[in-house]
């Protein structure tokens, strides 16, 4: 099911409170490209890979969030307090998701953006845990990224509340 921005605004306002059990964080870095044949920052072809296959490829912490919709503990993510200039990609498949200019400082404990790449994400209503939220997923690999709320800043009024682990940052200086 797809949601338009106007639909998102209608969704009942929810705080960035997440009731998932926090998963145990490991010291493993995100698996950018390493042993991941599906990772590409240029190929936008839709992927249809089973979780069984992803489990063999992704680090356990990334697998838990991206494929099982777990949530990293608030204030623990590497991009929570991070303001470098560059692009954010899906840590699972390399799809472009956000530009740093849409990132803003939020007190909720997760990296927050007011706008996503329209070609990068899609939305699903998520009524788990007794809440009515809008889940944000990667358009290329269907991985869970986080949720979007309607209490963000102008110009969109949206707050994309993301898991750092689901993101890979590339600074402009690497271009």
By beta-carbon proximity to Zn ion, the closer residue of 14 and 44 is: 44
Smallest separation, CB 50 to Zn ion (Å): 15
Under rule CB under 5 A, residue 71 binds Zn ion: no
Q: 161 catalytic, yes or no?
A: yes
Smallest separation, CB 29 to Zn ion (Å): 17
Only one of the segments 11-19, 78-86, 143-151, 156-164 lies at the binding site for Zn ion (rule: CB under 5 A); that segment is: 143-151
Within 27-66, the residues that bind Zn ion by CB under 5 A are: none
By beta-carbon proximity to Zn ion, the closer residue of 11 and 138 is: 138
* Closest among 158, 117, 112 to 140, alpha carbons compared: 117
Under rule CB under 5 A, residue 116 binds Zn ion: no
Structure tokens at 41: 């920052």
User: Which residues does the annotation mark as catalytic?
Assistant: 161
């Amino acid at each position: 099911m797809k949601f338009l921005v106007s639909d998102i605004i209608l969704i009942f306002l929810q705080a960035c409170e997440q009731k998932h059990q926090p998963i145990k964080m490991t010291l493993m870095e995100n698996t950018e490209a390493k042993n991941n044949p599906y990772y590409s920052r240029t190929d936008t072809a839709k992927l249809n890979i089973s979780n069984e296959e992803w489990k063999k490829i992704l680090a356990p912490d990334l697998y838990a969030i991206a494929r099982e919709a777990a949530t990293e503990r608030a204030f623990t993510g590497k991009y929570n307090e991070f303001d470098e200039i560059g692009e954010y990609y899906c840590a699972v498949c390399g799809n472009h998701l956000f530009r740093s200019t849409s990132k803003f400082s939020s007190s909720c404990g997760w990296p927050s953006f007011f706008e996503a790449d329209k070609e990068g994400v899609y939305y699903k209503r998520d009524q788990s845990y007794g809440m009515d939220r809008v889940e944000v997923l990667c358009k290329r690999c269907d991985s869970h990224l986080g949720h979007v709320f309607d209490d963000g800043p102008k110009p969109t009024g949206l707050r994309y509340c993301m898991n750092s682990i689901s993101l890979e940052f590339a600074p402009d200086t690497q271009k």
